Amino acid sequence: MKERHIVTVKALRGTIQIPGDKSISHRSVMFGSIAEGTTTINGFLPGDDCLSTISCFQKLGVDIQMIDEQSVVVKGKGIQALKEPSDILDVGNSGTTIRLMMGILANTPFHSTLIGDESIAKRPMKRVTGPLRDMNIHLDGRKDANFTPLVIRGGKAKGIHYTSPVASAQVKSAILLAGLQAEGTTSVTEPAKSRDHTERMLEAFGVKVEEEGLTVSIEGGQTLRGTHVEVPGDISSAAFFLVAGAIIANSRIEIQKVGMNPTRTGILDVLSNMGASIETVKETKETAEPYADLVVEASHLKGTEVGGDLIPRLIDEIPIIALAATQAEGITVIKDAAELKVKETNRIDTVVNELTKMGANIEATEDGMIIHGGAKLHGANVNSHGDHRIGMMLAVASCIAEGETIIENRDAVSVSYPQFFAHLESLQQ
């Protein structure tokens, strides 16, 4: 089913547990695959992207078993045990899979070819292939290895110090993963701190990681040891219900076991600045990745400014923040977010175009958007353009729009949140 019809809802009330964190689910399978010994994963996200990661590593000879939808066992034998794939490695729609796999495959003594879907084919890869080439890795691809298909022929990697022009966890992670098997020390310095799931998980697998300011370093020749990974709920998925609960009258939603990694909680800072009523309860900090239950209630929001070092902490949540801003009092300015142009879609243009169809007063800028609040949205025929976060944002928007909204390509949400529409309907009053 490619379309979804949604009409105005009176309120959203109840309790949900969102799917496991996508970033952590990816890494748990990848790191378990190159570790020595068995890794058990609980809370795994069985979305399309993470299933692509499992498929790729199975093609590389790793024994990976899904015990149930949220439990995975990875029987790793070390990175040296990876085998040359007999087929192309297809990452589907997953930018995390392709970029981190480049780092892992950088030191393998065999040939690998990586491809993805139409969206991946448009996303820039030189931000990873460039520094990997500097590490003496042999890489080829379309437009001088800036676009897929990409071919990796390995090499004897040498550690480098790389100063990244963008704060990107994918870039940082790919370089650090290549550095695991490189000669000497590999370090990455960013303009702002990006998500640190890789650093946290490497340490959980027994790898020593050094951090000083905005620089992360790793010494080559270290071995990962299989472990247990507890995956908390994905705050990027929770964001849609946090905003829905705040902008839909008479709503109260409790969202259980949401990941509270400080490099990911920018959405909470923004919603707090806007006046949203969000309570944090049952917070747990004993695990590698902290988590908590969040309770959101209908709120009177006001406009705000979103930019600077906050952007890396909420880049995936900007589409739903834009929707929240359409219902706030005053003007919201989102800036320093040019990275949105190279996501699954150009999210600046896509958010502006689709919300404009529904009556929002929103305009695109070179690095973000300006949103005038107080809009009364109306039903329209809108399109996710194959972007899961756009699809979920439009679904929340349709709940407050007058009349019926038809969302085309709504199946894109399965990339990160297969149960999204079921959860949305379960909360409707």
- Provide the annotated active-site residues: 316
Residues 6+ apart with CB under 8 A from 326: 355, 360, 361, 362, 371, 372, 373, 375, 377, 397
Instruction: Determine if the peptide bond prior to 149 is cis (ω within 30°).
Output: yes
Task: Centre a 10 Å sphere on the Cβ of residue 191 and count the other Cβ atoms it contains.
Answer: 14
Asked if 352 and 345 touch (Cβ cutoff 8 Å), the reply is no
Structure token pair of residue 302: 């006001």
Residue corresponding to tokens 């020593």? 208
Amino acid at site 275: G
The span from the CA of 421 to the CA of 428, in Å, is 11
Residue 119, CB-side half-sphere exposure with 13 Å CA sphere: 22
Burial of 209 (0-12, 13-18, 19+ CB in 10 A): middle
Q: Locate tokens 């899961």: which residue?
A: 388
**Contact between residue 246 and residue 271 where contact means Cβ atoms under 8 Å apart:** yes
What residue has token string 């929707």? 323
Q: How far apart are CA 365 and CA 337, in angstroms?
A: 10
Burial category of 47 from C-beta neighbours within 10 Å (exposed 0-12, middle 13-18, buried 19 and up): buried
The angle formed by the CA atoms of residues 321, 322 and 324, to the nearest 5 degrees, is 65
**CA nearest to 324, candidates 343, 351, 347:** 351
**3-class DSSP state of 30:** helix
Tokens representing residue 257 in the block: 């076991």
Long-range contacts of 166-169 (CB under 8 A, 24+ apart): 166/127, 166/190, 166/191, 166/339, 167/191, 167/192, 167/193, 167/194, 167/311, 167/312, 168/127, 168/194, 168/312, 168/339, 169/23, 169/194, 169/195, 169/196, 169/197, 169/198, 169/312
d(CA 345, CA 76): 35
